Amino acid sequence: MTNLIDQPRYVCALGAMQTVSSIERAVPILHAGPGCGAKLSLGMTEGNGGQGSGYISYHIFPSSNISEKEVIFGGEKRLKETIENALKVIDADFFVVLTGCVSEIVGDDVQEVVKSFANAGKPVIYAETAGFKGNNLIGHELVINAIIEQYLKPASVVDKLVNIWATVPAHDAFWYGNLIHLEKLISEIGLIPNTIFGPRKGLKTIDKIPQASFNLLISPWVGLKNVELLKQKFGTPYLHYPVLPIGPQETGNFLRTVAQFGGISPSIVEAVIKKHEDEYYYFIERAADTFLETRSIARRFVTIADSHYALAVSRFLVNDMGLFPAKQFVIDGIPEEYKESVSNLFLKYNHGIQAEVEFSSDGQDVQEQIRKTNYYGRPLILGSIWEKVLAKELMGHYIGISMPVSQRLILDRSYVGYDGALRLLEDIYSVVLETSI
């Protein structure tokens, strides 16, 4: 029997158009049916943290808009015309053709069409991102792999240069702020960060990817195929740190791990950690009475989020703030091959504390389970906009952290590191104090 998924938390692989548009002066060219681009992008931009158009609006992404004619006779000619016109009228540095379901089912030879633009003066590559390939997190990996395989060239290694790969742009409404804070932390211990998303990046940082001394992947699973391909093609080693660092314990461990892998002196990293911890705990001490005396929040919490945030936020709330995890719901459609390793990460909290984790994309089923759980007070619910009504029903405290986050405007906000943990506590306890009145 076919199962229906209620309250989706991701879109199809073609949503990787937002990965492309998050690269400065890069433009996706869609070889898909009419409406695909606008519908998918709306949910990942304005409907997710109020993210806007960027360099080029998703409303005007070039698209072949294939119809019945192309289904019958093929859409290669139509695609070629679309690419030609995009190169003429759009002032961009990089073009990525993305395929939708119809064009792949029909069997258009997109690779051959793209090859004909090898001498176009600007790079044109392609990625096969039909919806049946998976969700937009899989699509993100497909786009990065396309850049690696079709664009990058070998280059001399630059000592201490590190490529940072973390949360997925647009899907994570906090992606830009996260990269800023990760870059700062990496810089402070003496490494040179290189990221390809956001302003002042683009092709000049993409070109540096093969120059890195190592790749740093901060993700439970998204991006593993990318860093493995980079190692295979350029011999670049990689460090896989599976937890987005939030708070002093995880961030300290993160910095020590990266420093050891990168050959940085322990004395340097310990000095950086001490400086940040001194400042962090100053603010924690100032707010200690609020944390300890506020009775309107239960000590149990639940996350309904992608694997990045379900793991990172729960680690912080347990290890640093002394809360206890109820069942944690991971809703990013994680492939079967990664489920066991990600599940094990939820068993490694301090003091032997463990959390039961469930992988589910069905929001209705998740919410029914939350309703049946005893939180011994007003629960703390960290999820998407779908959980806001549920939190009101349960008289719980609600924070939106995972797609779709349509009730918040997010510019450069981040929960990463020491400063990010303070922002998360501000957000949580602002809600707690307001609902306590």
Per-residue pLDDT reduced to its tens digit, 20-72: 999 999 999 999 988 788 788 888 888 899 887 778 888 889 999 887 777 76
Q: What percent of the chain has pLDDT over 90?
A: 81
Domain residues of the chain, as ranges? 13-150, 287-436
- Supply the pLDDT for residue 195: 98
In this predicted structure, the answer to whether residue 243 has a pLDDT above a threshold of 50 is yes
- Choice between 103 and 242, residue whose per-residue pLDDT is larger: 242
Local structure of 248: helix, strand or coil: helix
Q: Are 13-150 and 287-436 the same fold in CATH?
A: yes
In this predicted structure, the answer to whether residue 151 has a pLDDT above a threshold of 50 is yes
In this predicted structure, the answer to whether residue 4 has a pLDDT above a threshold of 80 is no
The listed CATH number (1.10.1740.10, 3.40.50.1980, 3.40.50.2000, 3.90.1170.50) that belongs to domain 287-436: 3.40.50.1980
- Supply the pLDDT for residue 175: 96
Q: What percent of the chain has pLDDT over 70?
A: 98
* Burial of 91: CB neighbours in 10 Å, binned 0-12, 13-18, 19+: exposed
Per-residue pLDDT reduced to its tens digit, 369-393: 999 999 999 999 999 999 999 999 9
DSSP alpha helices (H): ranges in 198-320? Answer: 203-206, 224-234, 247-262, 266-286, 288-293, 307-319
Question: Residue 241 belongs to what H/E stretch?
Answer: strand 238-241
Instruction: For residue 144, give Cα distances in angstroms to 36, 137, 141, 259.
Output: 21, 11, 5, 26
- Supply the pLDDT for residue 58: 80
Q: Output the pTM of the full model.
A: 0.94
- Supply the pLDDT for residue 1: 43
Q: Which of 148, 149, 151, 182 minimizes the C-alpha distance to 165?
A: 182
Look-up of token digits 């504390």 = 353
Stretch 188-204: mean pLDDT: 96
Q: How is domain 13-150 classified at the CATH fold level?
A: Rossmann fold (3.40.50)
Local structure of 15: helix, strand or coil: helix
Q: Which of 229, 247, 248, 259 minimizes the C-alpha distance to 162?
A: 259
